[in-house]
């Protein structure tokens, strides 16, 4: 590797410090001796459990719907594809409170589908299902963009050969294409899980906050910092650790995917 | 080494521009003073109006207002935020910053809870007891924050236990859930109903027995303590009290807040409170 100019190294060190310092700040406020006790409280355990369960459900939803959407997007061409991609990926960068309001006006009691859902006896607002919907809304783009990019990188020769051999469309998809983009799907899913775990604004706006039902770990941290900042820090550190583990896991298959 | 000096100069310039009051005060007269007022979210409309009135009467002074939940503001003050004045929505949060209070905190207003329902009252709420009807979606503040602590007290006094569908961190979120029609009812302050357009207030018997009292204080870190004191007196004075009354607050007798007695033991003040209601 060539030697880097010194000024660049200085900026890089500042950047790294900027990224790491808030994590150090969190750790500096933790009461390490009491940490296990703070994490063992019913509120903390309930919130963490709810977060893990809803994030898992959200990831399943993201894969079930996001993979087909990625395929459909990759099948499009030109401007239509670019425009549709921009719209579908917008939740990644939307302010979460805006996502929450949108969900409210779509699935809420007075929303576009809300009245129909309510009449059918499926109320959404203030339920755990609302948490999963909020998470899936913001996390699905990770799966869609991952699948679309992986498909764009394939030349389609194997699929063409399989077709000449008489394989049906679904069979080609199942036996050739899907295994070919498996790593990309897994990476998208891992990132979707991480994003679901960290969801806060849309959940608070759309689902509310009630222990055991809608109060995920992020919401519990937000509440606990009012009365017990140390407990908030303890739960926050768990989320930091999970985030680092998840991103590390996502980066490893990523290296293999790019030869 | 070459880098360090310009950096230090820049830092100094930044520090000066951040604390206008401090740097301006060193200049010769006429001085321009900025007072940083940290005030509870429920005070936003009335304090904005009061600040404007005050600035008109005192041309050399500008009031910079910061509004948020009292607990957030208290935490920021304890972390060194440049506040000259703190106006809290309850006494417990003033107690949290007790070691930063210069002199005494004084009560300047009080507020009571009321039931907020979406316009038209689709849930058919009549009084506090009807909030316990099964099937009714009720949202409240979490017991950890001032409005939630008051809610828990009302429940206790009236002997009605609610099963809320959501416990939110501030009264604005409760108001949002009601005005959007997601919830059938919510417990908010009387003044919140006055400022919200999409909700109706339903008064209930016994609400007055749990009044939340608002203390205000000049802080020890104030850059312009004299000017800050003058604004506090303005809030406590006739004009301030009239504006608060018009906004739906009950005015207070201006007595000293209980929290001043707790000076020194501040960090522990809220702990027993929170556990008692939580």
Query: What does the DSSP assignment read for B225-264?
Result: HHHHHHHHHHHHSHHHHHHHHHTTPEEP--PBPGGGGGTT
pLDDT for the residue A123: 82
Q: Is B186 on the interface with A (CB under 8 A)?
A: no
8 Å CB contact of B180 and A110: yes
pLDDT for the residue A156: 85
Q: Give residue-wise pLDDT tens across range A30-85.
A: 989 999 998 999 999 999 999 999 999 999 999 999 999 999 999 998 899 999 99
pLDDT confidence tier of residue A155, bands split at 50, 70 and 90: confident
8 Å CB contact of B75 and A204: no
At A196, is the secondary structure helix, strand, or coil? helix
8 Å CB contact of A110 and B181: yes
pLDDT for the residue A65: 97
Q: Give residue-wise pLDDT tens across range B87-144.
A: 998 898 999 999 999 989 999 999 999 999 999 999 999 999 999 998 899 999 999 8
Q: Is B71 on the interface with A (CB under 8 A)?
A: yes
Residue numbers in A near B183 (CB within 8 A): 126
pLDDT: is A42 or B15 the higher one? A42
pLDDT for the residue B235: 96
8 Å CB contact of B144 and A226: yes
Q: What is the pTM of this model?
A: 0.78
Asked if residues B232 and B50 have their Cβ atoms less than 8 Å apart, the reply is no
pLDDT at B9 > cutoff 80: no
Asked if residues B172 and B70 have their Cβ atoms less than 8 Å apart, the reply is no
pLDDT for the residue A251: 75
Measure Cα distances from A195 to A97, A191, A218 in Å: 15, 6, 11
pLDDT at A118 > cutoff 90: no
Measure Cα distances from A150 to A53, A140, A157, A181, B58 in Å: 28, 16, 15, 6, 66
Instruction: Report the half-sphere exposure of B102 (CA within 13 A, side-chain side).
Output: 16
pLDDT: is B9 or A25 the higher one? A25
Q: Give residue-wise pLDDT tens across range B208-263.
A: 888 889 999 999 989 889 999 999 999 999 999 999 999 889 876 555 555 443 33
8 Å CB contact of A210 and B166: yes
Q: Which of A7, A239, A242 is nearest to B2 (CA)?
A: A7
pLDDT for the residue B196: 83
Q: What is the mean pLDDT of residues A112-132?
A: 87
Q: Is B274 on the interface with A (CB under 8 A)?
A: yes
Q: Give residue-wise pLDDT tens across range B46-96.
A: 999 999 999 999 999 999 999 988 888 998 999 889 999 999 988 989 999
In whole angstroms, what is the distance from residue A97 CA to residue A88 CA?
Answer: 17
pLDDT for the residue A252: 66
pLDDT for the residue B54: 95
Measure Cα distances from A30 to A33, B75, B79, B267 in Å: 9, 16, 16, 17
Residue numbers in A near B75 (CB within 8 A): 225, 229
8 Å CB contact of A209 and B167: yes
Residue numbers in A near B168 (CB within 8 A): 204, 208-209
pLDDT for the residue A196: 96
pLDDT for the residue A110: 86
pLDDT at A214 > cutoff 60: yes
Give me B264's structure tokens.
Answer: 């020194």
Closest residue of A to B135, CA-based?
A123
Write down the ipTM of this complex: 0.76
pLDDT for the residue A229: 83
Residue showing tokens 């969190």: A26
8 Å CB contact of A225 and B75: yes
Q: Calculate the CA A26 to chain-centre distance.
A: 23
pLDDT for the residue A1: 57
pLDDT for the residue B19: 43
Interface test with A, best of B88, B138, B139, B165 (most A CBs within 10 A): B165
8 Å CB contact of B182 and A125: yes
pLDDT for the residue B127: 93
pLDDT at A190 > cutoff 60: yes
């Amino acid at each position: 590797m060539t030697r880097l100019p010194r000024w660049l190294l200085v900026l890089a060190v500042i950047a790294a410090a900027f990224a790491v310092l808030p994590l150090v700040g969190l750790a500096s406020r933790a009461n390490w001796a009491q940490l296990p006790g703070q994490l063992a409280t019913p509120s903390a355990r309930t919130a963490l459990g709810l977060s893990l369960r809803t994030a898992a459900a959200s990831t399943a939803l993201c894969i079930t719907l996001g993979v087909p959407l990625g395929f459909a997007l990759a099948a499009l061409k030109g401007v239509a594809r670019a425009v549709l991609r921009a719209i579908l990926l917008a939740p990644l960068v939307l302010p979460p409170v805006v996502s929450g309001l949108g969900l409210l006006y779509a699935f809420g009691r007075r929303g576009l589908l809300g009245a129909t859902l309510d009449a059918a006896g499926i109320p959404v607002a203030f339920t755990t299902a609302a948490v999963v919907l909020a998470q899936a809304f913001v996390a699905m783009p990770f799966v869609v963009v991952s699948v679309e990019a992986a498909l764009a990188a394939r030349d389609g020769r194997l699929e063409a050969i399989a077709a000449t051999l008489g394989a049906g469309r679904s069979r080609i998809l199942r036996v050739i294409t899907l295994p070919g983009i498996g790593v990309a799907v897994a990476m998208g899913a891992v990132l979707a899980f991480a994003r679901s775990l960290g969801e806060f604004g849309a959940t608070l706006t759309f689902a509310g906050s009630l222990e055991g039902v809608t109060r995920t770990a992020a919401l519990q941290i937000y509440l606990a910092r009012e009365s017990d900042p140390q407990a908030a820090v303890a739960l926050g550190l768990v989320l930091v650790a999970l985030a680092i583990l998840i991103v590390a896991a996502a980066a490893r298959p990523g290296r293999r995917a790019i030869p | 080494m070459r880098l360090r000096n310009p950096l230090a100069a820049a830092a100094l310039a930044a520090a000066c521009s951040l604390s206008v009051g401090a740097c301006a005060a060193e200049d010769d007269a006429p001085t321009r003073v900025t007072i940083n007022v940290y005030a509870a979210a429920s005070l936003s409309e009335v304090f904005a109006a009061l600040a404007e009135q005050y600035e008109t009467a005192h041309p050399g002074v500008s009031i910079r207002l910061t509004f948020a939940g009292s607990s957030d503001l208290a935490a920021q003050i304890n972390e060194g935020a440049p506040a000259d004045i703190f106006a809290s929505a309850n006494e417990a949060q003033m107690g949290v910053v007790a070691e930063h209070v210069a002199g005494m905190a004084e009560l300047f207003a009080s507020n009571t809870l009321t039931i907020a329902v979406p316009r038209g009252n689709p849930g058919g709420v009549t009084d506090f007891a009807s909030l316990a009807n099964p099937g009714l979606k009720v949202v409240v503040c979490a017991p950890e924050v001032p409005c939630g602590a008051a809610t828990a007290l009302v429940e206790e006094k009236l002997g009605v236990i609610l099963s809320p569908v959501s416990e939110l961190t501030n009264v604005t979120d409760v108001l949002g859930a009601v005005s959007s029609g997601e919830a059938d009812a919510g417990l908010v302050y009387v003044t919140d109903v006055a400022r919200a357009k999409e909700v109706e207030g339903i008064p209930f018997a016994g609400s007055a027995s749990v009044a939340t009292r608002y203390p205000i204080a000049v802080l020890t870190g104030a850059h312009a303590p004299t000017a800050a004191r003058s604004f506090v007196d303005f809030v406590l004075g006739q004009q301030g009290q009239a504006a608060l009354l018009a906004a739906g607050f009950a005015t207070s007798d201006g007595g000293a807040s209980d929290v001043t007695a707790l000076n020194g033991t501040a960090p522990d003040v809220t702990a027993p409170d929170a556990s008692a209601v939580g």
